[in-house]
Homo-oligomer: A and B are copies of this chain.
Amino acid sequence: MLIEILSTGEEIRSGAVVDSNAAYIARQLEQIDMPAARHTSVGDELDILVNVLSEISQRAQFAIVTGGLGPTEDDRTIEAAAKTAGVGLELFSEALRAMEIFLKKRNLALNPSNRKQAYLPIGSEMFMNPIGTAPGFALTIKDCVFFFLPGVPPEMKQMLAQTIIPRLMDYRGRNAIFQTVKLRLFGLPESGVNERLKEFETVFPKLSLRLRTKFPEIQITLCGSEAQIDRLQNHVKDAQDWVLEKLAPHVFSSSGEPMASVIGDLLHKQGATLAIAESCTGGLISHWITNVAGSSDYFIYTAVVYADVTKVNTLGVSSDTLEKYGAVHERTAQEMARGARDKAGSTFGLATTGIAGPGGGSHAKPVGTICIGLAGPSFLEGYRFTFNFHDRGMHKRIFAMKALDMLRHKLLAM
């Protein structure tokens, strides 16, 4: 079975937008073990669209196409699909009604360009779009079933999940059941993870394991398909345990949640609260923590303190400590964590102070040095680590992740 992905639109062709739709669809296809053979991206010229659709229809059994279903003149995918199939367009009145309802809810009227979206190639099967005006559709050209989806990512993702993936699984074998587990880990290089998991294929020949580096973390997807649900569940569970044994304590999530959510859950369970003092991470830890909806339940306060005098004035770091050890030191980090905790009256305090670069490094404390402080009801701890990425942005990200990972280990041990 051969599947291809086609992305259409000038913004993709010109590089104005990176084609993350194709990568997203490819990952979903990997998860049901129906890998895409290739992706193609073209603009919105009718001739090239027709050429590409025709080429794909001669190679593939299935194709997922995104973009070009909108109301403007630049949206030519429907016309190209009809032309390639050698059919005309017809009005899908159900699509028109759905569009009217959708627009009415937003106090908008249907205009002639919206009407265009309800005309689909004769012989299409229409897919409703609950969150936009452009319906999707399936059309068979030669021996290839094309699924045409909107290019707007949330609309594409919803239609893919609700209609296309179940449909493909159906084609693949009506009784197959799929299960996917996503682990996220921090603190090992990809080569180290590969080395530790190299026997996976031998131990679990029926399952597949995929790694994805999203700096500074690594994501692992375990995926299997079998006819019997309980056998599959046991199988995937065994594999997950096997992977966890090889990689613990580096795995911070077995459910695909980001680090900040994991920290949030741990704090929430303990009825605890957090305050943060950031120097070199410059607000990034707080940004991550507050990306989680509901974080106001446990997150109280952050002080981003770049200047030494501000470390003293706002967090009560002692001038003696700063003079004796400097701003980048375990002791300073400890005092910053204690200061943030005291100021906010929180259960825990977390602090970072280090050198993200490009300037500011020395032989004793090179660029990439990070000191982390942890304060709690009965402890005050300071740590130092050195990374080496020659990039300010990467240092900020790995410093922030390391600080949260230290806090995670502390919370787990309590």
Contacts and interface: CB of A to CB of B under 8 A. Distances in A.
Contact of A22 (B19, B286, B290, B396): B19
Contacts of A294: 359
Interface in A258-317: 276, 278, 282-287, 289-291, 293-296, 299-307, 310, 313-314
Copy total for this chain: 2
A300 B291 contact: no
Nearest to A400: B287
A293 B355 CA distance: 11
A27 B38 CA distance: 22
Interface string A313-324: 110000000000
Contacts of A343: 313-314
A196 interface: no
**Residue of A12, A18, A287, A358 ringed by the most chain B CB atoms within 10 A:** A287
- Chain A, interface size: which category? 35 or more
**Residue of A38, A300, A307 ringed by the most chain B CB atoms within 10 A:** A38
Contacts of A299: 306
Nearest to A344: B310
Contacts of A43: 37-38
Interface string A24-41: 111111100001111111
Contact of A302 (B22, B27, B289, B303): B303
Contacts of A23: 12, 15-19
